[in-house]
Amino acid sequence: MILSALLTSVGINLGLCLLFFTLYSILRKQPGNRIVYAPRLVEKEKKSQQADFSLERLLPSPGWVRQAWEPSEDELLSTVGLDAVVFMHIFTFSLKVFTVAGIIGITILLPINFLGNQLSYDFSDLPNKSLDSFSISNVDDGSNRLWIHFCAAYVFTGVVCYFLYQEYSYISSKRVSYFYSSKPQPHQFTLLVRGIPGSSRSSFSEVVESFFKDYHPSTYLSHTVIRRTSKIQELTKDAEKLHRRLARLNSNDNSHKRFRRDGFLGIFGRKVDLLDHYGKRLEALQDNVRMEQSSLAGKEVAAAFVSFNSRYGAAIALHIQQGVNPTEWVTEQAPAPQDVHWPFFSSSFMKRWICKLAVVVACIALTILFLIPVVIVQGLTHLDQLETWFPFLKGVLNLFISRLCCHNASDDLEVPSIPYHSEIPRVIFSVLLGITYFFLAPLILPFLLVYYCLGYIIYRNQLLNVYAPKFETGGKFWPIVHNSTIFSLLLMHVIAIGIFGLKKLPLASSLVIPLPVLTLLFNEYCRKRFLPIFEAYPTECLVKKDREDQNDATMAEFYEKLVTAYQDPALMPVQYSGSSDGRTSPLLHAANV
Amino acid sequence: MILSALLTSVGINLGLCLLFFTLYSILRKQPGNRIVYAPRLVEKEKKSQQADFSLERLLPSPGWVRQAWEPSEDELLSTVGLDAVVFMHIFTFSLKVFTVAGIIGITILLPINFLGNQLSYDFSDLPNKSLDSFSISNVDDGSNRLWIHFCAAYVFTGVVCYFLYQEYSYISSKRVSYFYSSKPQPHQFTLLVRGIPGSSRSSFSEVVESFFKDYHPSTYLSHTVIRRTSKIQELTKDAEKLHRRLARLNSNDNSHKRFRRDGFLGIFGRKVDLLDHYGKRLEALQDNVRMEQSSLAGKEVAAAFVSFNSRYGAAIALHIQQGVNPTEWVTEQAPAPQDVHWPFFSSSFMKRWICKLAVVVACIALTILFLIPVVIVQGLTHLDQLETWFPFLKGVLNLFISRLCCHNASDDLEVPSIPYHSEIPRVIFSVLLGITYFFLAPLILPFLLVYYCLGYIIYRNQLLNVYAPKFETGGKFWPIVHNSTIFSLLLMHVIAIGIFGLKKLPLASSLVIPLPVLTLLFNEYCRKRFLPIFEAYPTECLVKKDREDQNDATMAEFYEKLVTAYQDPALMPVQYSGSSDGRTSPLLHAANV
């Protein structure tokens, strides 16, 4: 690519940015768009704003950018949760890294590259100059100027590691304080126990009860044995379908009731017949569901949710192998009740096994797919080729990393639909690319910086207005960001070793080798120092939090709820309003047992 | 190597075996040798047997072979511990494997190899025939007979995996029952806690006390903070040296006392002066030691032995991260009191760090050293070359594997001196070689079988008479045997794939590929099913054992001892008998505080 082409591209992109910025500024002020740009506020206020027309509404104004900066981190934390704040930290971290990289790259590396003579271009025709003359390729072979690149690699690695340490330390401390400030939640007190050993004399429920009463007498609270409910689930699905059809028929014509009441058998006769027919079928289905629900005694699965009266009690049973046979009494942290993927428990062993196998195969395939383009992309220094490769990589990475960071107790089958979760891989990949290219082509850095700034502004503004957290990992995905950054640093080192070799400066090549070793040692330290807090909470936190709860008057109520928290929805009493009068009432009445 | 040479070698070896067998049978009957061949019996009987001379004593008799078979496994278990029994199982397992390999190899593979025509030798001159004609090299390229080798690989792998499963299952169950039958031992109740956070207001001892009383109120028993005692250790060493010198001077001449008592200043005058001089120096040293011991308040190390009143209590603190900062309150299972390497705690951080680094470097170097000869040996099919390579490999492996299997709380610096521990690598390596060669040269198998039989017989006999267990791992080294066998199976598969390729039977090559995959799956299953019991005991075992103890009257006494079990020997009161009268009395009086 030549310089003039790059500048044209920059111009077009900046123009588009300005256009979208203006459009956004105007559109977000229209009352009708409020539900799109600030659904949280709409929900809060429970009424649409007065639709007074004013000229101000049609003028773009950057006030929202200032607004975006107003809420402090603590406010954000309490409103949108830790995950959103950690995601914001990915932005600020990247911005910091790109600022440092940009300063070093533009003020030091770029002039040195440009002053090289390796690629003998015509100096007079600057606009048509290839971008290669700004890259390291233009530095003369064996030139002592390469030692400045060498120093830059060391300085940049040091600075990035310092930022990484700072962020890891900050986020892990936030994670602990977030735990302290969290309300008691059922999944903190509950374990999913698999591999309950069968007994000819007693049911799984009795076996679980006696085991935990025996070995955890002071902490065991209650349990819910999981039952095979696939048949009920099917029946319920059918009933719901039927009920929806009935409701549709009803809403299509609200007057039919009148006719039926009068005994009039006219044009609506067929419809009334249909309604009666569906109503009877629905009632029959409901009876079937109730019958199935009452005959579940023999359909217990060798798995149960076991609740404890303290978080620490649950942690003890989680971290220590329970039975002599390690394939029995396998414990894992329970997911939140609403995240449980119930049909999974009812499916056959074969189906689950195939699902797991499919996940493994997909992971391997995606890793290979990920490696091939990365290797190829690393060999490219031309921006135009990069642009061709980007969309494909983005898709693959989206799939691959989102599976890694959103894994869930339902055995990775359910991926929560949170907007920023799918953004993480994209952001990470840009960091990866930015760091790697710091060395090769510093010209790319200012563009990345601008792109990140814009992304950050829009993310901050939307955050409070749009996002309502449904699923909270407590910033558990930060280690992925950390590892990706370390990986891209290592990649940079490998490239540096290769380039110094090609540029006939073997001494620099060998002197770079300590850098990846030091980076790995730093990573190892971080892994020891911070990672454990992202995996499980320590005794100190758990016991402190449990003691706080002891003084809390609402805990008795919480325990009552906890006992029935893990109830399969298929086992709850169903009541579709069967009478013809109530057909437009709420679809499904479900009450706790 | 040619057949006649092999047979000569076999003849010489068998002759030597017979000679040693006869010599052993005679020598072990001589009363004077009893202390060598049966030290345990001598210790038990506390008197030497009557030295009546009889002709029977000079005749070799195989009675001891029968004797070796007499004790049942349970008897062995109760007398010499689980480690010895597990070591015996390495023998029986190898014997089973070699028997199966021998039967398949000699009756099926050997004739097929011999009937091949690939190596066109002269049939008439059998004694000068190369051993290669008995190996797979002699089978014709692309011959369908190779499919028999293919089947043999599958059958043999299946049988070995079956044996492996059987042994793993048996030994892990023995490990559990051994734990149940074990007496309470201090290290079962104690953890080594490192990284105690410092406090300006209180000592480490107070910090430990308050932390464990706070977070483990119902299970915490006591603690011993470790102190820097390197100076005392040096002084004590000097004192002991001096005391030994004094004792030597005393024993050289027992009559000098008489002279001195009479005030006689004659030929022994100088000696008496020397004795006085040494005595004074010893007393000064003793005073120094006592002074150092009393001024240890400020020399606490950020590590302590913390004891709990139950095994389960210790396990809870072991398995769950304690502090918010994972580099603080790091817990690990304590070693037995007599296995603690006290000087290690007093050494500087730098020294420990260098020690660890040295261990890592040595491990890497040895792994490389191990890989090179293995790769080379695998390429050799000539027995004479193997013999050249054996001694070197044996030495390297001895070093390498004994470090792996005898690691210890004293950070791998102390390797317990148990005879069979150093034998393990040798035995494992033979298994590895035997399995790998099953396929290539079945002729080697009968010799391995005989060698193992002899080894087994001698091991069994010596076991009860010679071996007194000092250090018991509870058969913790079995997983190494298991993994080595799996490794050699995989090696065999790789060789099979290569050989079928070279022999122009690519279909067989590709059909062997599922075999290593299945073997790895089998290994994975075993790792899940059996390995955890070799790493830590589960809740079920710990709680059961703790409850048993509650009914044991001797536990109160045990707890009393436990409190002082982890006392640095350097801190115990020293008293070298300073008076000239008592110079030949026991060297060191040490009493508990």
Each residue of A502-524: pLDDT tens digit?
888 899 999 999 999 999 999 99
- Paired strand residues for B333: B191
The answer to whether B278 and B245 are in contact (CB under 8 A) is yes
Q: Give Dmax (Cα) for chain A.
A: 102
Give A449-460 pLDDT, tens digit per residue. 777 777 777 777
pLDDT of residue B544: 92
- Is A176 in the B-facing interface, judged by CB distances under 8 Å? yes
Neighbouring C-beta atoms of residue B335, cutoff 10 Å = 20
Contact B321 A215 (CB under 8 A): no
The answer to whether A28 and A157 are in contact (CB under 8 A) is no
Structure tokens at A360: 């493994």
pLDDT of residue B306: 94
- Is B543 in the A-facing interface, judged by CB distances under 8 Å? yes
Residue A582 has pLDDT above 70, yes or no: no
Contact B320 A319 (CB under 8 A): yes
Structure tokens at B364: 């890497």
pLDDT of residue B579: 44
Does residue A491 share a domain with residue A372? yes
pLDDT of residue B48: 47
The CA angle B410-B412-B416, to the nearest 5 degrees, is 85
| Region A330-352 average pLDDT | 81
**DSSP assignment, residue B2?**
B
The answer to whether A589 and A577 are in contact (CB under 8 A) is yes
The CA angle A413-A418-A424, to the nearest 5 degrees, is 95
Measure CA of the first residue to CA of the last residue in chain A; give whole Å: 69
Among candidates B322, B528, B540 on the partner chain, residue whose Cβ is nearest the Cβ of A539: B322
Q: Which residue of B has its CA nearest to A544?
A: B215
Contact B528 A316 (CB under 8 A): no
**Is B522 contained in some domain?**
yes
Contact A533 B319 (CB under 8 A): no
Does residue A478 share a domain with residue A377? yes
**Is B591 contained in some domain?**
no
**DSSP assignment, residue A106?**
I
Q: Which residue of B has its CA nearest to A316?
A: B316
Domain boundary among A11, A39, A61: A61
Q: CB within 8 A of B268, min separation 6: which ones?
A: B253, B256, B259, B260
Q: How far is CA B62 from CA B19, B67, B559, in A?
A: 13, 9, 50
pLDDT of residue B380: 52
- Helices first, then strands: H and E counts in chain B: 24, 4
User: How does DSSP assign B144-169, residue by residue?
Assistant: TTHHHHHHHHHHHHHHHHHHHHHHHH
A216 pLDDT band (50/70/90 cuts)?
very high
Q: CB within 8 A of B592, min separation 6: which ones?
A: B564, B567, B572
From the list A418, A468, A453, A492, the residue with the least C-alpha distance to A158 is A492
Q: How far is CA A47 from CA A34, A43, A55, A125, in A?
A: 11, 8, 23, 62
**Is B44 contained in some domain?**
no
Give A60-105 pLDDT, tens digit per residue. 777 777 776 777 788 878 777 888 888 888 888 888 888 888 888 8
**Is A312 contained in some domain?**
yes
Does residue A97 share a domain with residue A17? no
**Is B339 contained in some domain?**
yes
Q: CB within 8 A of B365, min separation 6: which ones?
A: none
pLDDT of residue A87: 83
3-42 of A, contacting B, C-beta below 8 A: none
Distance from CA of B515 to the nearest CA of A (A): 19
Task: Find the range with the poorest average confidence among A24-28, A36-40, A107-111, A546-550.
Answer: A36-40
Q: Of A539, A544, A546, which to mutate for an interface test with B (greatest number of B Cβ within 10 Å)?
A: A539
Residues of A in contact with B315 (CB under 8 A): 320
Model pTM above 0.90: no
From the list A364, A363, A389, A365, the residue with the least C-alpha distance to A378 is A389
Residues A315 and A39: their CA atoms lie apart, in Å, by 39
**Is B18 contained in some domain?**
no
Place of tokens 């090549």: A509
pLDDT of residue A162: 96
Q: Which residue of A has its CA nearest to B169?
A: A325
The angle, 0 to 180 degrees and rounded to 10, between the axes of the packed helices B419-440 and B383-405 is 140
From the list A155, A153, A162, A158, the residue with the least C-alpha distance to A492 is A153
| Region A38-47 average pLDDT | 63
| Region A320-347 average pLDDT | 86
pLDDT of residue A410: 38
Q: Of B176, B193, B320, B322, which to mutate for an interface test with A (greatest number of A Cβ within 10 Å)?
A: B320
Residues of A in contact with B533 (CB under 8 A): 324, 326
pLDDT of residue B465: 66
Does residue B358 share a domain with residue B269? no
Measure CA of the first residue to CA of the last residue in chain B; give whole Å: 69
> Chain-centre distance of CA A178, in angstroms?
18
Q: What percent of chain A has pLDDT over 70?
A: 72
Residues of A in contact with B165 (CB under 8 A): none
Among candidates B176, B319, B326 on the partner chain, residue whose Cβ is nearest the Cβ of A529: B326
Q: Of B172, B191, B324, B537, which to mutate for an interface test with A (greatest number of A Cβ within 10 Å)?
A: B324
**Torsions phi, psi of B331, nearest 5?**
-110, 145
- Is B488 in the A-facing interface, judged by CB distances under 8 Å? no
Place of tokens 């190829």: A376
Q: Give Dmax (Cα) for chain B.
A: 102
Q: Which residue of A has its CA nearest to B325?
A: A529
Positive/negative CA dihedral, B280, B286, B289, B294: negative
Does residue A146 share a domain with residue A193? no
Q: How far is CA B591 from CA A1, B229, B567, in A?
A: 85, 18, 11
Q: Of B325, B529, B550, which to mutate for an interface test with A (greatest number of A Cβ within 10 Å)?
A: B325
> Chain-centre distance of CA B478, in angstroms?
11
**Is B110 contained in some domain?**
yes
Does residue A237 share a domain with residue A96? no
Residues B538 and B176: their CA atoms lie apart, in Å, by 10
**Torsions phi, psi of B300, nearest 5?**
-70, 145
User: How does DSSP assign B326-368, residue by residue?
Assistant: TTSSEEEEPPPGGG--HHHHHS-HHHHHHHHHHHHHHHHHHHH
Number of domains forming the structure of chain B: 2
- Is A330 in the B-facing interface, judged by CB distances under 8 Å? no
- Is B532 in the A-facing interface, judged by CB distances under 8 Å? yes
Among candidates B320, B321, B532 on the partner chain, residue whose Cβ is nearest the Cβ of A316: B320
Does residue B244 share a domain with residue B393? no
- Paired strand residues for A300: A227
From the list B380, B484, B477, B497, the residue with the least C-alpha distance to B432 is B484
Contact B322 A538 (CB under 8 A): yes
Does residue A368 share a domain with residue A280? no
Q: How far is CA B310 from CA A478, B188, B202, B216, B221, in A?
A: 38, 8, 28, 12, 9
Give A124-144 pLDDT, tens digit per residue. 566 666 667 777 878 888 888
Q: How far is CA A386 from CA A10, A376, B275, in A?
A: 15, 10, 89
- Is B541 in the A-facing interface, judged by CB distances under 8 Å? yes
pLDDT along chain B (593 residues), means of 10: 74 83 81 72 58 68 72 79 85 87 87 79 60 78 89 93 95 91 90 89 90 93 88 84 83 56 55 79 84 76 91 93 89 88 75 83 80 62 47 47 38 39 61 66 72 74 67 84 89 88 90 94 91 91 90 88 86 63 38 34
Q: How far is CA A236 from CA A575, A582, A591, in A?
A: 11, 19, 15
Does residue A248 share a domain with residue A235? yes
- Is B210 in the A-facing interface, judged by CB distances under 8 Å? no
Q: CB within 8 A of B472, min separation 6: which ones?
A: B81, B82, B83
Residues A204 and A210: their CA atoms lie apart, in Å, by 10
Residues of B in contact with A320 (CB under 8 A): 315-316, 319, 536, 538-539
Does residue B511 share a domain with residue B436? yes
Under 8 Å CB pairs connecting chains A and B tally to: 74
> Chain-centre distance of CA B445, in angstroms?
27
Domain housing A160: 71-183+352-539
**Is A494 contained in some domain?**
yes
Give A149-161 pLDDT, tens digit per residue. 999 999 999 999 9
Does residue A392 share a domain with residue A282? no
The CA angle B388-B392-B397, to the nearest 5 degrees, is 135
Contact A215 B543 (CB under 8 A): yes
Residues A463 and A446: their CA atoms lie apart, in Å, by 25
Q: What percent of chain A has pLDDT over 90?
A: 21
Residues of A in contact with B364 (CB under 8 A): none
Contact A326 B543 (CB under 8 A): no
Does residue A265 share a domain with residue A228? yes
Residues of B in contact with A330 (CB under 8 A): none
Q: Determine whether B463 is exposed, middle or buried from the number of CB atoms within 10 Å of its CB (0-12, 13-18, 19+).
A: buried
Residues B180 and A434: their CA atoms lie apart, in Å, by 59
Residue A397 has pLDDT above 50, yes or no: no
Give A243-301 pLDDT, tens digit per residue. 888 888 877 655 555 445 444 555 556 767 777 888 888 888 888 888 887 777 667 88
- Is B215 in the A-facing interface, judged by CB distances under 8 Å? yes
**Torsions phi, psi of B168, nearest 5?**
-60, -45
From the list A92, A105, A240, the residue with the least C-alpha distance to A164 is A92
* Mean per-residue pLDDT over chain A, rounded: 77
Contact A326 B541 (CB under 8 A): no
Q: How far is CA A90 from CA A400, A421, A457, A484, in A?
A: 19, 12, 13, 12
